[in-house]
């Protein structure tokens, strides 16, 4: 059975439903991707590598992971830290804004738990996924050790996947972010960037420039998400443009990219070629943005995905 592990952070999500009323759930870019991969491809083992607290919300979070059939072998409990939290607000066009409380988040400490025994177990995975947000959240003093661990996994044959989602507010400055992204690109076998993520850090303006940038880094599989209607891929030999039919009724774009990542990697692990994997990924993303919140209701998502796959 194929296996992938996502390293990063899951947070407590708060969403305003009406004046003075909040709805609480759990979300985070790598967690979202792990969930959608598992929903789209149940036969693949999808695991999360993170640290949570011993508080009641962290305990509830762990229960949600299990309900989504996410592997929790590497979800560690920190004795003094707590789960991070954010508030999401969505405008009339489905675009969102966030307020975060994550300075005391347990996920910042996850590298401390990745000892030799854990690495040996992770080396049995097919893929190891890390995002730009994952890197930003890690305590700066642990980043050097983290890259040593990534090097170990790559040398053991695990494919390294990097989604360079850039969130300026999480970094001290662009130089700090660029240094960590350079490290990630150097290790990556697969990368899933968006043009806007790298425009500020690397002055990249379009998909072709981004593909050339990744080719220069010797990355063998590149999938560029360039807006709702276009995906460009590079398979180590040729570049292909994939036209995507945009969704007409957009409710919330919160985790469109996360769902795309999860479904795409699930398809690739299932043996599908890049073209078919992109179609599956676009289908999953299109379903998600028609629902509020990062994690769409399971029954609604599963039904829509099955019908969509039948029509592909």
Residue-level pLDDT at 268:
98
Of 126, 175, 258, 310, which one is the catalytic site residue?
A: 258
| pLDDT in the model for residue 228 | 66
Q: What is the pLDDT of residues 35-50, one digit of tens each?
A: 999 999 999 999 999 9
Extract the residue ranges of the chain whose pLDDT is less than 70: 90, 92-96, 228-229
pLDDT the model gives residue 94: 56
pLDDT (0 to 100) of residue 81: 96
- With CA atoms as reference, report the closest residue to 288 among 276, 275, 298, 279: 298
Q: Give CA separation, 124 vs 47, 61, 139, 156, 256, in Å.
A: 12, 26, 26, 8, 29
**Percent of the chain at pLDDT exceeding 70:** 97
- Whether 258 sits among the annotated catalytic residues: the reply is yes
pLDDT for the residue numbered 29:
95
- pLDDT tens digits, one per residue of 285-311: 999 999 888 899 999 999 999 998 998
The pTM score is 0.94
Give CA–CA dist 261/290, Å, rounded. Answer: 17
The whole-chain average pLDDT of the chain stands at 93
Q: Minimal CA–CA distance to 123: which of 161, 160, 152, 162?
A: 152
């Amino acid at each position: 059975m194929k296996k992938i592990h996502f390293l990063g952070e899951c947070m407590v999500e708060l969403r305003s439903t009406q004046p003075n009323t909040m709805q609480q759930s759990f979300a985070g870019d790598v967690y979202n991707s792990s969930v959608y991969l598992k929903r789209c491809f149940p036969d693949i083992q999808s695991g999360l590598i993170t640290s949570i607290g011993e508080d009641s919300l962290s305990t509830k979070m762990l229960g949600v992971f299990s309900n989504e059939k996410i592997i929790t072998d590497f979800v560690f409990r920190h004795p003094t830290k707590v789960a991070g939290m954010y508030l999401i607000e969505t405008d009339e066009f489905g675009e969102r804004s966030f307020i975060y409380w994550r300075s005391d988040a347990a996920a910042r400490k996850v590298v401390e738990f990745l000892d030799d025994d854990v690495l040996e177990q992770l080396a049995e995975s097919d893929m190891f996924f890390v995002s730009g947000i994952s890197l930003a959240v890690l305590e700066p003093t642990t980043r050097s050790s983290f890259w040593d661990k990534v090097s170990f996994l790559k040398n053991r044959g695990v494919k390294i996947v990097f989604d360079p989602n850039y969130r300026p507010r999480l970094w001290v400055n662009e130089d700090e972010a660029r240094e960590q992204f350079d490290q990630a690109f150097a290790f990556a076998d697969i990368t899933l960037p968006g043009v806007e993520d790298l425009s500020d850090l690397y002055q990249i303006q379009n998909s072709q420039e981004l593909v050339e940038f990744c080719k220069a880094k010797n990355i063998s599989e590149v999938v560029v998400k360039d807006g709702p209607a276009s995906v460009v891929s590079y398979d180590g030999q040729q570049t292909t443009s994939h036209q995507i039919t945009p969704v007409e009724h957009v409710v919330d774009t919160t985790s469109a990219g996360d769902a795309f990542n999860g479904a795409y990697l699930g398809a690739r692990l299932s043996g599908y070629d890049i073209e078919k994997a992109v179609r599956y990924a676009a289908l999953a993303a299109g379903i998600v943005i028609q629902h509020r919140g990062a994690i769409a209701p399971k029954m609604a998502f599963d039904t829509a995905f099955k019908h969509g796959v039948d029509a592909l």
